[in-house]
């Protein structure tokens, strides 16, 4: 009788433990974020001009690996004249995967002149195929589109020359 009680207790403990494991499962979430555009001087500047390196960083900030087919998404780093909607693409990456916690960087070197009265903006953008949410692949469904664009003002870059 005592061994039957022990066996029953072990069975209940295993059952409860396995139930708790199911409760601890994490819901898969994918969120790619256009995190930032870092900027730094590449050359020793003259009083108003120099070369500047721009590094755009896109990070998978959630708990699931992003995985998709080619031509369904891309990242662009672009220049946009102040007050305009027209952009010139400086660098692009047609990526297919970003592991959770990893990042993709786009790097360009530009000539800069702080004497320009109307400095451009630089735009880091994640773009998806319009049908990406209906393609049957949940590993490429971005859960938060509000962080898919990061804009850097050219006036911020001017601070490198002071």
Per-residue pLDDT tens digits for 8-38: 444 444 444 455 555 577 788 999 999 999 9
Domains and CATH numbers, the chain: 30-161 (2.60.40.10)
Tens digits of residue pLDDT in 116-141: 999 999 999 999 999 999 999 999 99
How far apart CA 117 and CA 158 sit, in angstroms, is: 11
pTM of the model as a whole: 0.82
């Amino acid at each position: 009788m005592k061994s039957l009680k022990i066996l029953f207790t072990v069975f209940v403990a295993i059952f409860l433990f396995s139930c708790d494991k199911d409760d601890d499962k994490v819901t898969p979430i994918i969120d790619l974020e256009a995190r930032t555009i870092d900027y730094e001087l590449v050359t020793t500047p003259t009083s108003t001009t120099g070369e500047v390196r721009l590094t755009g960083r896109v990070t998978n900030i959630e708990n699931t690996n992003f995985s998709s087919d080619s031509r369904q998404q891309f990242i662009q780093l672009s220049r946009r004249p102040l007050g305009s909607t027209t952009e010139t693409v400086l660098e692009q990456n047609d990526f297919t995967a970003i592991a959770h916690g990893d990042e993709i960087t786009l790097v360009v070197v530009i000539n800069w002149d702080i004497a320009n009265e109307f400095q451009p903006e630089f735009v880091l953008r994640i773009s998806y195929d319009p049908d990406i949410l209906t393609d049957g692949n949940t590993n490429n469904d971005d859960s938060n589109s509000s962080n898919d664009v990061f804009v850097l003002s050219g006036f911020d870059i001017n601070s490198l020359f002071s």
